[in-house]
């Protein structure tokens, strides 16, 4: 090999090793964002031997790039905070917005950097650069800049690919750390609350804050898992039994509305205390969570006694404080900003007898405000939204200084803008006081108290009350923002912002309840795009994601004026809930309108794409009485539409060829799991290079007492579309873990893998459940492997990645199953904490006859090994294929040539006898 080729290989290997080291560095995800950026920039500078590496963030209005971190090789130092207006370098900004990478061998002659070269690069001596775009939700969010000094430099293809890969990694880091910060903010609100807070699911305590631990005299570990009835005496002060009466309040909070009441509790030392309790319920990830807010009212009773013997002034002050306490109790239960504002103004009017007041929320940059509640104004007198620079105004100063500001004379105060002054004077306002609403240095809003007399002032005690109100309302607003954001994320698709499957079932259930007993009908439409996979494979997933957002907007426009909800269920699958229809024909007509809208070309990044769609229609009550039943029927109808090339199809029993058999499976699968009708078979896997058995795959089978043997491909799909997939998966995991423990105890050193479905990867409780099984059976770390498919990962990538990351933290080994057949994404593959990938049998089966399949298999093995992954070939049926895989460097093989899936005892015997695999010739089967 020539020296130049040696140098090329060394560069390629060095870049590859550097990226793998970065991608697998746990500190990038476990530490803070600043440390992660330090690691990435220094690594880039060292590997690429450049003068400067920097990461820039595009601000919200896309007007400026802000330097998050710059590393300088000459000083080995870091800098941050520099700003670059996008308008000052329009050609560079445009190039970044259009292309993933701006590669510049000579900065002095490249027109894309013309303005930037004159602005800074010439002075800094930068002669060549690589700029890789950072993206977030499909949009340009920043740039990774790699700058070389001294002389021009030609960037190799490997260096360019390396820069793009690191930029993708940094984009994911930005999103990951943003979510971590939000979670930390929400937790701080929970922990800092002055009241005791308990969360309950299924009548059991699942979380508590420090104040709850202090109130009950118990640790967090002691409280979690307790029945709340254990914290109460047997009887309440009115003689009612605590358990029955408490359950009534709990059920009322779930079924009817939030509940408030007083209750007697027991501390750990047996002492009693009275508390004011507020219960509210919210549905999160399919579970009903009840939040209980408790306030020890012993001090309130004491305050009542003091108030009876104190002066009138003290009585008034305590009364005001009580009003504020009651306000805090009410606001803790509310997530509606409008309700928070109206209740706050009502309390202020009660306390201060203010004739007029305004409650408005402000933007982060104090450039606008939105009035959401008033007293003393008619609705048509108030302009609800205003764009106005508040920074140097009375409101802006109050926010910046974090204190209540009075204005004794509106007419003469320069801090009030002429526009606002004219409006106030016209309304007869002579003076005012501004109360800022701030939480953790974030401006949330302002309350303006308006008076018709000049020079209105508050006493020290009144100012204390106003500060207490301000702090209480600020905390309530921050909590409302966080709860609403968490609720939205749990019920909406992250790409399109449309409702997701959870919200679809919730809305459909509510609509069914509303029309129950009437003659009204409801329809559910399931839509699958045509040719979408071709767009992804040809133009890439970035274009595919942009297309999905445009499709969502077009479908939404097509549904305008109808009482309908559009949802995205995952991939290119959408659903439409028509809350009321006159007939099935009306639903079909709506579906045809959607198909016609999809047939019109859609422009994506300058390319016109023609799509189509197949829609299945199911109507209540003809086709089902629940949202799940209707969705299943719509799914059957959609596949009938695809088969008949008719675009739209109404559900028909004739489409559902195995309807009686499927109905039996749907209704009896839960009982089968509980009654041990299911069994596990194990298919051994063989280590090709070492010539030994190394692991097995656990495969579930159903021996139905009436229907006979039912293959997994027939019943697992029903588990995935119902709530049974979790108990089915845990049953398989438990049986596999028990069998694996027996084998390991007998000295058989192997591992066992189980398959996870799409729904499993969206179940945030799964990792802890599997960890308990591993601990229960005393398995070695990593001996229980988890197989996941690409399609399952891409249904909801962000949520699936959280579950996968948690599984990896617990020591689980994971592999990608059926690699090459799904929604492939190397960007996700390199981020996943994988141990191996399995090449789909469709490529392995024909690799000896089809050169393209052979190339795919060989390339996949090389790609996996470059990422440090093992490779397993599925569906190996003959010795020639086995030998060719061994020549390609494949690590493991699985197939009938080695062994069929076997009962546990038979699989154990097979694996205790190494097979005799000659270099050629026939291989004896079991």
Same domain, 565 and 418: no
Same domain, 668 and 647: no
The alpha carbon torsion through 915, 916, 920, 926 (nearest 10 deg) reads: -50
Residue 311 included in any domain: no
Per residue in 315-331, pLDDT tens? 555 555 566 666 666 66
Residue 221 included in any domain: no
Same domain, 22 and 69: yes
Per residue in 727-753, pLDDT tens? 999 999 999 999 999 999 988 889 999
Span of 88-102, 507-521, 657-671, 883-897 with lowest mean pLDDT: 657-671
Same domain, 544 and 618: yes
Task: Check residue 736 and give its pLDDT.
Answer: 95
638-648: average pLDDT: 78
Show which of 182, 202, 218 is a domain's final residue: 182
Residue 200 included in any domain: no
Q: How many CB atoms lie within 10 A of CB 418?
A: 7
CA distance linking residue 680 with residue 671, whole number of Å:
17
Same domain, 505 and 466: no
779-802: average pLDDT: 78
- pLDDT band per the 50, 70, 90 thresholds, residue 554: very high
Residue 516 or residue 737, greater confidence: 737
* Strand pairing report for 708-710 and 692-704: antiparallel
Residue 783 or residue 473, greater confidence: 783
CATH number of the domain that residue 802 is part of? 3.20.20.450
Task: Check residue 858 and give its pLDDT.
Answer: 92
CATH number of the domain that residue 539 is part of? 3.30.70.270
Query: Per the confidence metrics, is the pTM higher than 0.85?
Result: no
Same domain, 686 and 822: yes
Domain count, the chain: 4
Task: Check residue 789 and give its pLDDT.
Answer: 78
Structure tokens at 775: 């601990």
Residue 294 included in any domain: no
Residue 236 included in any domain: no
Same domain, 697 and 803: yes
Per residue in 130-162, pLDDT tens? 999 998 877 888 999 999 998 999 998 888 888
26-51: average pLDDT: 85
What is each CA distance from 56 to 93, 146, 624, in whole angstroms?
A: 12, 11, 54
- pLDDT band per the 50, 70, 90 thresholds, residue 430: confident
Task: Answer whether residue 238 shows pLDDT above 90.
Answer: no
The partner residues of 294 in beta bridges, in order of sequence, read 196, 277
Same domain, 507 and 480: no
CATH number of the domain that residue 111 is part of? 3.30.450.40
Task: Answer whether residue 367 shows pLDDT above 70.
Answer: no
For 605: left if phi > 0, alpha if psi spans -120 to 50, otherwise beta; the answer is left
Task: Answer whether residue 306 shows pLDDT above 90.
Answer: no
Span of 285-289, 374-378, 838-842 with lowest mean pLDDT: 374-378
Task: Check residue 867 and give its pLDDT.
Answer: 85
Same domain, 609 and 539: yes
Per residue in 449-493, pLDDT tens? 788 776 567 777 777 777 877 787 778 777 777 777 767 777 888
Same domain, 702 and 802: yes
Domain interval for residue 738: 663-911
Task: Answer whether residue 656 shows pLDDT above 70.
Answer: no
Residue 908 or residue 517, greater confidence: 908
Same domain, 38 and 135: yes
The partner residues of 817 in beta bridges, in order of sequence, read 789
Show which of 446, 462, 490 is a domain's final residue: 490
Residue 772 included in any domain: yes
Per residue in 342-360, pLDDT tens? 777 777 776 666 666 766 6
Show which of 464, 490, 516 is a domain's final residue: 490
799-807: average pLDDT: 84
Structure tokens at 797: 């990538």
Span of 318-327, 407-416, 439-448, 707-716 with lowest mean pLDDT: 318-327
Per residue in 879-892, pLDDT tens? 999 999 999 999 99
Same domain, 600 and 652: yes
Task: Check residue 55 and give its pLDDT.
Answer: 94
Task: Answer whether residue 808 shows pLDDT above 50.
Answer: yes
CA distance linking residue 799 with residue 764, whole number of Å:
8
Task: Check residue 722 and give its pLDDT.
Answer: 66
430-449: average pLDDT: 81
834-854: average pLDDT: 87
Per residue in 697-727, pLDDT tens? 999 998 888 777 777 876 787 777 667 888 9
High-pLDDT (> 90) share of the chain, %: 24
Residue 267 included in any domain: no
CB 321 within 8 A of CB 310: no
Counting beta carbons within 10 angstroms of the beta carbon of residue 813, is it exposed (0 to 12), middle (13 to 18) or buried (19 or more)?
A: buried
Residue 411 included in any domain: yes
- Rounded to the nearest integer, the mean pLDDT of the chain is 82
Task: Answer whether residue 695 shows pLDDT above 80.
Answer: yes
Task: Check residue 70 and give its pLDDT.
Answer: 93
């Amino acid at each position: 090999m020539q020296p130049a080729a040696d140098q090329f290989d060394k560069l390629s290997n060095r870049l590859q090793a550097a990226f793998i080291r970065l991608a697998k560095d746990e500190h990038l995800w476990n530490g803070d964002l600043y440390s992660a950026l330090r690691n990435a920039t220094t690594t880039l500078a060292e590997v690429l031997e450049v003068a400067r590496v920097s990461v820039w963030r595009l601000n919200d209005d896309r007007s400026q790039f802000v330097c998050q971190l710059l590393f300088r090789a000459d000083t080995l130092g870091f800098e941050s905070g520099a700003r670059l207006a996008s308008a000052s370098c329009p050609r560079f900004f445009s190039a970044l917005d259009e292309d993933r990478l701006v590669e510049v061998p000579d900065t002095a002659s490249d027109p894309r950097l013309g303005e930037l070269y004159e602005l800074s690069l010439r002075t800094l001596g930068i002669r060549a650069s690589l700029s890789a775009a950072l993206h977030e939700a499909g949009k340009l969010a920043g740039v990774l800049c790699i700058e070389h000094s001294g002389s021009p430099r030609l960037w190799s293809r490997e260096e360019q690919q390396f820069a793009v890969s690191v930029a993708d990694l940094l984009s994911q880091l930005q999103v990951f750390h943003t979510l971590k910060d939000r979670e930390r903010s929400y937790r701080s609100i929970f922990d800092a609350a002055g009241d005791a807070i308990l969360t309950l699911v299924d009548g059991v305590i699942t979380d508590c804050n420090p104040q709850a631990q202090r109130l009950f005299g118990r640790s967090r570990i002691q409280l979690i898992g307790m029945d709340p009835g254990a914290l109460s005496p047997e009887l309440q002060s009115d003689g009612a039994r605590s358990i029955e009466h408490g359950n009534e309040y709990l059920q009322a909070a779930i079924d009817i509305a939030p509940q408030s009441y007083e209750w007697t509790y027991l501390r750990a030392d047996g002492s009693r205390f009275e508390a004011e309790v507020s219960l509210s319920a919210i549905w999160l990830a399919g579970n009903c969570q009840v939040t209980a807010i408790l306030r020890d009212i012993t001090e309130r009773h004491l305050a009542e006694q003091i108030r009876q013997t104190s002066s009138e002034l003290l009585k008034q002050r305590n009364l005001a404080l009580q009003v504020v306490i009651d306000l805090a109790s009410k606001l803790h239960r509310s997530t509606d900003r409008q309700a928070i504002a109206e209740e706050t103004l009502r309390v202020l009017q009660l306390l201060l007898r203010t004739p007029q007041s305004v409650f408005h929320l402000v933007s982060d940059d104090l450039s606008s405000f939105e009035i959401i509640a008033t007293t003393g104004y008619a609705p048509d007198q108030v302009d609800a939204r205003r764009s106005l620079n508040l920074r140097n105004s009375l409101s802006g100063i109050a926010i910046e200084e974090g204190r209540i500001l009075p204005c004794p004379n509106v007419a003469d105060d320069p801090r009030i803008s002429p526009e606002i002054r004219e409006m106030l004077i016209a309304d007869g306002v002579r003076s005012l006081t501004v109360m800022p609403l701030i939480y953790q240095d974030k401006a949330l809003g302002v309350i303006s108290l308006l008076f018709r007399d000049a020079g209105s002032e508050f006493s020290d005690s009144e100012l204390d009350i106003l500060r207490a109100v301000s702090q209480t309302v600020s905390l309530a607003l921050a909590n409302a923002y966080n709860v609403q954001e968490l609720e939205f994320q749990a019920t909406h698709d992250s790409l399109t912002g449309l409702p997701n499957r959870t919200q679809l079932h919730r809305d459909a259930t509510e609509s069914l309840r509303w029309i129950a007993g009437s003659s009204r009908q409801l329809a559910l439409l399931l839509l699958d795009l045509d040719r979408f996979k071709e767009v992804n494979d040809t133009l890439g997933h970035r274009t595919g994601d942009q297309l999905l957002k445009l499709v969502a907007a077009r479908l939404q426009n097509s549904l305008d004026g109808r009482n309908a909800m559009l949802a995205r269920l995952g991939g290119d699958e959408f659903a439409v809930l028509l809350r009321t229809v006159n007939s099935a024909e009306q639903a079909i007509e709506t579906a045809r309108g959607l198909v016609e809208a999809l047939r019109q070309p859609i422009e994506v990044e300058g390319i016109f794409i023609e799509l189509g769609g197949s829609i299945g229609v199911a109507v209540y009550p003809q086709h089902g009485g629940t949202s799940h039943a209707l969705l299943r029927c719509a799914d059957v109808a959609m596949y009938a539409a695809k088969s008949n090339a008719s675009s739209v199809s109404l559900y028909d029993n004739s489409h559902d060829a195995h309807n009686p058999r499927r109905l039996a499976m749907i209704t009896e699968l839960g009982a089968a799991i509980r009654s041990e009708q299911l069994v596990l078979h194990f298919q051994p896997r063989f280590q090709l290079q070492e010539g030994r058995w190394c692991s097995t795959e656990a495969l579930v089978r159903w021996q139905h007492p009436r229907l006979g043997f039912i293959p997994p491909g027939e019943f697992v799909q029903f588990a995935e579309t119902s709530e049974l997939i979790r108990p089915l998966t845990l049953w398989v995991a438990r049986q596999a873990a028990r069998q694996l423990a027996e084998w390991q105890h007998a000295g058989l050193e192997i591992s066992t893998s189980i398959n996870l479905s799409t729904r499993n990867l969206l179940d945030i409780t799964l990792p802890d459940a599997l960890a308990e099984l591993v601990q229960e059976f005393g398995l070695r770390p990593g001996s229980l492997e988890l197989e996941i498919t690409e399609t399952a990962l891409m249904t909801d990538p962000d949520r699936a990645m959280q579950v996968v990351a948690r599984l990896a933290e617990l020591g689980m080994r994971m592999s990608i199953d059926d690699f090459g057949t799904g929604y492939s994404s190397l960007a996700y593959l390199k981020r996943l904490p994988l141990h191996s990938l399995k090449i789909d049998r469709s490529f392995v089966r024909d690799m000896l006859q089809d050169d393209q399949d052979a190339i795919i298999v060989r390339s996949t093995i090389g790609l996996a090994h470059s990422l440090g992954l093992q490779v397993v070939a599925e569906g190996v049926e003959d010795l020639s294929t086995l030998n060719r895989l061994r020549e390609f460097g494949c690590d493991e093989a699985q197939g009938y040539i080695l062994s069929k899936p076997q009962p546990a005892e038979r699989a154990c015997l097979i694996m205790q006898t190494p097979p005799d695999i000659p270099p050629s010739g026939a291989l004896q089967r079991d």
